[in-house]
Amino acid sequence: MHNIDKDKIEHKLLFMQDNLIKLKKLQELDKQQFLKDFRNVDSTKYLLQITIEAMLDIASHLIARNRWGKPENNKEHFEILAQNNVIGEQLVNTYFNMAKFRNRVVHLYFKVDDEMIYKILQDNLEDFEVFIKDIIKILE
């Protein structure tokens, strides 16, 4: 990796890891308990949103500093990372779907179903962990 701000990337990775710790605490709640309290749902939405933002920030930083191009959209961020062997090609659509979810939370917040939030919380946190591990590898 050329010319990257390792401190900036590491700071964002720590931010993501701290958010994952919080999300895992929420993950321990059973569905009924989770859905019963709006604070659980709203906290989860926000933590997912800002953790995905951090992923996009890291991708943008790596792309810009290495002069790998100018992504036109979120999917291109992840395609460029895959083309440069930062992430696996098979992860592009997963991460793109995460970015689409983030956009939905931000712009179509009234169409985000609480049960969908619970399902994402239960089934998809490992996607963040894979991203973090891949980024850590390139920093070594």
Q: What is the tens place of the pLDDT at every residue in 30-78?
A: 999 999 999 999 999 999 999 999 999 999 999 999 999 999 999 999 9
Two structure tokens written together for 23: 């999300």
116 vs 35, 60, 121, CA distance in Å?
11, 28, 9
pLDDT in tens, 93-119: 999 999 988 887 887 676 779 999 999
Looking up tokens 């979810």, which residue turns up?
101
Two structure tokens written together for 105: 């939370």
- Identify the burial level of 22 via C-beta atoms within 10 angstroms of its C-beta, where 0-12 means exposed, 13-18 middle and 19 or more buried: middle
Q: Are 71 and 57 in contact (CB under 8 A)?
A: no
* Segment 74-83 mean pLDDT: 96
Supply the pLDDT for residue 140. Answer: 84
* Segment 76-102 mean pLDDT: 95
Report the C-alpha dihedral over residues 122, 125, 130, 136, rounded to 10 degrees. Answer: -150
What global pTM score does this model have? 0.93
Confidence of residue 1 (pLDDT cuts 50, 70, 90): low
* Segment 117-123 mean pLDDT: 95
CATH superfamily of 6-139: bsu32300-like (1.20.120.580)
Q: Are 39 and 21 in contact (CB under 8 A)?
A: no
CA angle 136, 46, 88 (to 5 degrees): 30
Residues 6+ apart with CB under 8 A from 103: 74
Q: Count the alpha carbons within 13 Å of 30 in the hemisphere toward its beta carbon.
A: 2
